[in-house]
Structure 1
Amino acid sequence: MNLFDVYPLNPVTIAKGEGCYVYDDQGQKYLDLYGGHAVISVGHSHPDYVAGIQSQLEKLAFYSNSVINPVQSKLAERLGEVSEYADYSLFLCSSGAEANENALKLASFATGKKKVVAFEKGFHGRTSLAVAVTDNPKIQAPANPTDHVSIVPFNDLEAVEAELAKGDVCAVIYEPLQGVAGIREASHEFQQGLSNLCAKYDAKLIADEVQAGAGRTGKFFAHQWAGIKPDIVTVAKGLGNGFPVGAALISPDFEASYGLLGTTFGGNHLACAAALSVLDIIEKENLMDNAIVMEELARNLAEDIPEIKKITGKGLMLGFEFESPIAQLRKNLLLESKIFTGNASNPNVLRILPPLNVSAEMIGTFFSQLKLQLSACPA
């Protein structure tokens, strides 16, 4: 049997990881500034992370959600503390798409309405509801209904209110930082306006923090820079540092009932142990503070590279926009400089999403190698 060939693969076979580095099957070392789509938050094979999972594995790896799971309760308490959402409830699942799927269902259940407002160039996942609110028809199958979704321009409050005023919208879902789009930022005023409009028109505001959450921007959630509290916040990726963990943080305004939501693998013992270890490491090593410091360093070093026309993002979720496509530049950085970086739907944008414990020396290495590759192959 062969693999179903849906991924364009880099010609590298990764065999192990340590901190902010990965090694291929030939022993070659690579600086990982992409973290597997922003998943690796506290570094590869962090000893405390490994120990946390191993300790739980020696006791119990999995049992279903039909019994009391104290590790889930501990995670809910710790996540509430670290994220400053202690008054919210936690629904655990296994991915960001699943978190968004359940958030949208919950908003529809709560309001009795079915329309959703989403935004141009947004990405929320590939499950049925999540892909319907993703602005990419190429990944929407004929079986995925989209007639209940209105896609409006990003950062356009007038367009949002025009849809909400129709009275049939259950939810507005948005990313504070649109990652796949090349790290487009929702302004603070826009986010505050969304919060006010949803309250005015009895719709639920869902902040998709799947990529930007878990401390990546210097606060636990990116929307916290705007000073708002959405009705539901979804998170995944960095929360598990490689172990599949997804979650929805749910406002006290929602009423839970048995059977309303469900999942087989969500909140399993190993997943909770992984997430608990991540939260402990983020706090113990002050990784949110490090994200802010590394952002400032990156922006300063980028000033010496005239080919970079624009920098977007926050913390360690940064996009560098060039005047022309960067596909060859990324390839050269990987194969010649041994550095993993990310691309975007905007072909001119190079993204970095490194582990939150990336060092100043590593950021410096990236920019020195970027200069080298640009001199050889201008973007």
Structure 2
Amino acid sequence: MKLFDVYPLFDVNIVKGKGCHVWDDKGNEYLDLYGGHAVISIGHSHPHYVEAISNQVAQLGFYSNSVINKLQQQVANRLGELSGYDDYQLFLVNSGAEANENALKLASFYNGRKRVISFNKAFHGRTSLAVEVTANPSIIAPINNNGHVTYLPLNDIEAVKSELIDGDVCAVIIEGIQGVGGIRVPEVKFLQELSRICEETNTVLILDEIQSGYGRSGKFFAHQHAGIRPDMITVAKGIGNGFPMSGVLISPKFKPVYGQLGTTFGGSHLACTAATAVLDVMKDENLIENAAKVGTHLIAELKKISQIKEVRGEGLMIGMEFEEPVKELRKRLLFEEKVFTGVSGTNVIRLLPPLCLSMDEADDFLGRLKKLL
């Protein structure tokens, strides 16, 4: 049987990782500034993470959500403490798209509406509702195109107000920082005004922090730079450091109803063990503070490079926009300089390294990049 060929692949087989470095099957070492697409939050093969998962799988890997799993409450307690959202509720699922699906569904149950506001260049996932709020017609199948969504320009608060004034919008969904859209950061005043108008119109505000959350921006969630508290926050990627897991943080104003939401694999014993280990390391090693410090340094140094048109981002979520397509540059970084990076569109290179990236590793990357440029 062949694999269904939907991914354009580099001819590299990664077999080992440690911290911010990975190795291929030929023994070549790479500096990982992509983090498996922002998934590796605490670094590859962290010993505490490895030990915790190994011990848990030896004891119990999975049982269903028909019985108590105290590890779920442990994750909720730790996440609430570290994020500042200890008064919220947590619903655990498996992927970012699934988190957004459930957030949108819960919003519609809450106010009985079905219109949604999303933003140009947004990406929220590839499943039914998640892909419908993703501003990319090429991945929205006819069965998903149900006319529920209006896409607006990012940071245009007047456009948002004109849509919300009639009070028929179920939810506004927005990324803390647009990832696929090119590392575009919502303005602080825009987020603050958006939060205010959503509250006034009983519109549910959903912050998609799947890529921008879990310390990546230098705060636990990127929207915390604006000092707002949304109705729901979706998380994935960094939550499990590679173990598939996601969740929805839900405001106290939402009341759970048996049967409305559910999942088979969400919040499994292994997933919760992985998530708890991630939070342990983030706290013990001050990784959020490190992301802020190293990210600030990296952004400042990148802005000095004349060949880069614009540098955008917060913390260790950074976009470098060039005048010309970056496909060849990204390929040269990988094969000549042994550095993994990501892309957004044709002209933006994305940096999404593990949050443990050191100053020395950041400077090492700067040297390799300048060598090519």
What TM-score bracket applies, with the shorter chain setting the length?
A: over 0.9
Instruction: Tell me whether 1:351 sits opposite 2:350 in the alignment.
Output: yes
Q: What aligned pairs does 1:261-276 form with structure 2 within 5 A after superposition?
A: 261-276=261-276
Secondary structure of 1:320's counterpart equals strand
User: Which residue of structure 1 lines up, in the alignment, with residue 164 of structure 2?
Assistant: 164
Cα distance in structure 2, aligned partners of 1:292 and 1:211? 16
For 1:96, the aligned partner's letter is G
The corresponding residue for 2:154 is 154
CA distance in 2, matches of 1:154, 1:70: 40
Whole-angstrom CA distance in 1 between matches of 2:213 and 2:303 = 27
Structure 2 CA distance for aligned equivalents of residues 121 and 146 of structure 1:
19
> CA offsets per residue over residues 292-312 of structure 1, 9 Å max, x none?
111121123224311112111
CA distance in 2, matches of 1:360, 1:322: 24
1:177-216 to 2 correspondence within 5 Å? 177-216=177-216
Tell me which amino acid in the other structure corresponds to 2:311.
I
Q: 2:303·2:310 contact (CA, 8 Å) conserved in 1?
A: no
2:246 pairs with 1:246:
yes
Deviation at 1:143, TM superposition (A): 1.0
Residues 10-49 of structure 1: matches in 2 within 5 Å? 10-49=10-49
Partner of 2:107: 107
Distance 1:175 1:332 in 2: 30
Q: Does structure 1 retain, via aligned residues, the 8 Å contact 2:101–2:129?
A: yes
Partner SS, residue 179 of structure 1: coil
CA distance in 2: counterparts of 1:145 and 1:105, whole angstroms = 16
1:261-284: CA deviations, max 9, x gaps? 001110000000000000000000
Shift of 1:54: 1.1
What CA deviation, in whole Å up to 9, does each residue of 1:246-269 have, x standing for no partner? Answer: 000000000101111001110000
Distance in 2 of aligned mates of 1:109 and 1:222: 27
The CA distance in 2 between the partners of 1:303 and 1:20, in whole Å, is 23
* CA RMSD, Structure 1 to Structure 2 (Å): 0.8
TM-score, structure 2 normalization: 0.99
Residue identity matched to 1:283: K
In the TM superposition, 1:299-318 aligns within 5 A as 299-318=299-318
Residue number in structure 2 paired with 1:86 = 86
Residues 53-79 of structure 1: CA deviation (Å, up to 9, x unaligned): 112111110011100000001111111
1:92 is paired with a residue of what secondary structure? Answer: strand
Matched letter for residue 370 of structure 1: L
Structure 1 residues 77 and 234, CA, compared in 2 at 3 Å: closer, same or farther?
same
What does the per-residue CA deviation read over 1:192-244, in whole Å, with 9 as the maximum and x for residues that have no partner? 11111111111100000000011111111000110000000000000110000
- Partner in structure 2 of residue 176 of structure 1: 176
Is 5-14 or 360-369 further displaced after alignment?
Answer: 360-369
Aligned to 2:6: 6
Percent identical across equivalent pairs? 59
SS at the partner of 1:118?
strand
- Distance (Å, rounded) in 2 between the aligned partners of 1:277 and 1:211: 19
Aligned 8 A contact 2:122 2:180 in 1: yes
Structure-1 separation of matches of 2:295 and 2:174: 23
- Structure 2: segments with no counterpart, 5+ residues: none
Aligned in 2, Cα 1:303/1:34: closer, same or farther, shift over 3 Å?
same
SS at match of 1:143: helix
Quote the residue 1:368 is aligned against.
367
Identify if the C-alpha distance between structure 1 residues 193 and 243 changes in structure 2 by more than 3 Å, giving closer, same or farther.
same
- Corresponding residue SS for 2:173: strand
User: 2:145 & 2:303 partners in 1: Cα distance?
Assistant: 45
Residues 303 and 311 in structure 2, CA contact (< 8 A), matched pair in contact too: no
Q: What letter is aligned with 2:190?
A: F
Give the equivalent residue in structure 2 for 1:98.
Answer: 98
Name the SS of the counterpart of 1:343 in structure 2: strand
**Equivalent AA in structure 2 for residue 361 of structure 1:** D
Give, as a single letter, the amino acid of the residue that structure 1 aligns with 2:25: D
Provide the rounded CA distance (Å) in 1 between the counterparts of 2:302 and 2:232: 35
Counterpart-to-counterpart distance in 2, 1:83 and 1:261: 24
Aligned residue type for 1:322: F
Mapped partners of 2:210, 2:146: distance in 1: 22
Match of 2:65 in 1: 65
Task: State the Cα deviation string for residues 166-209 of structure 1 (Å, max 9, x = none).
Answer: 32111000012000011001001011111111111111000000
Q: For the Cα contact (< 8 Å) 2:319–2:349, is it kept in 1?
A: yes
Confirm or deny: 8 A CA contact 2:191 2:228 kept in the other structure.
yes
The offset of 1:104, in angstroms, is 0.2
Tell me how far apart the structure 2 counterparts of residues 306 and 80 of structure 1 sit (CA, whole Å): 42
Which residue number in structure 2 is paired with residue 377 of structure 1? none
State yes or no: 1:326 paired with 2:330: no
* Separation in 2, partners of 1:186, 1:146: 27
Paired residue for 1:260?
A: 260
1: CA distance, partners of 2:139 / 2:303: 37
Instruction: Please identify, of 297-306 and 275-284, the stretch whose mean Cα deviation from structure 2 is larger.
Output: 297-306
> Which consecutive unaligned segments of at least 5 residues does structure 1 have?
375-379
Shift of 1:373: 1.0
Structure 2 counterpart of 1:114, one-letter code:
K
Mark the CA change 1:201 to 1:270 in structure 2 (over 3 Å): closer, same or farther: same
CA distance in 2, matches of 1:145, 1:180: 20
Distance 2:113 2:163 in 1: 13
The amino acid of 2:366's aligned partner reads F
